[in-house]
Amino acid sequence: MNFLILGLPRSRTAWLSNFFTYDTCFCFHEPLLNIGTLKELPQKLAAVNQSIIGGADTGAMYFVDTLVQMFPGLKLIVIDRDDDDCQQSLSAMGVQGDIAAMRQQLNWVIEQHNPWVIPFAELDSLDILSHLWAYCVGSAFPVQRWHMLKDMIVQIDSQRFFHSINEQAIRRIAKEATVWPGAQ
């Protein structure tokens, strides 16, 4: 994996995975779901056969230490959206989440790994996305792709998404999580 985009739920990770899946780049949305162990991740990534592979994953914040070891040179990006906005957006979908605990984990990742932190509001900036593309992909920015997607709302079908999650796989992979020290 070349890059990993992290953020709280409802921080446009689905949109970003769509945006980055273009030309020689493929960006998974929630690549850690439905694998039994992190050791299976390289095989899942290799199956797409692209030269640049990324992930946009809200849950990956709990596995950053291991992922950085597994993928030397992994570029980390954090999309920083306001906690209340995330909670309101989740609630509008009928989903509850412990945003405060996730924020503590995300802040720990920021302190420990020094990722590029991008404020959520800046995701509408052509300049920011152009720089993000150069950072992650290293090729010419596809301006036409940005124009095609900039006004699109890309989100998961929450009912189908949550029904597709393999709970046993989540329990197995959760044993590999590294949680910020204050959560113990």
For 60-72, the pLDDT digits (tens) are: 999 999 999 999 9
Q: What is the pTM of this model?
A: 0.85
Phi, psi for 84 (deg, rounded to 5):
-65, -40
**Who has greater pLDDT, 184 or 126?**
126
Handedness of CA 135, 37, 59, 17 (dihedral sign): positive
Q: State the helix-helix crossing angle for 126-136 and 13-20, rounded to 10 degrees.
A: 60
Tell me the pLDDT tens digit for each residue of 49-98. Answer: 999 999 999 889 999 999 999 999 999 999 999 999 988 887 787 777 78
Per CATH, the number for 3-169 is 3.40.50.300
Lowest mean pLDDT across 5-14, 122-131, 149-158: 149-158
> What's the average model confidence in pLDDT over 121-131?
92
Helix (H, G, I), strand (E, B) or coil at 167: helix
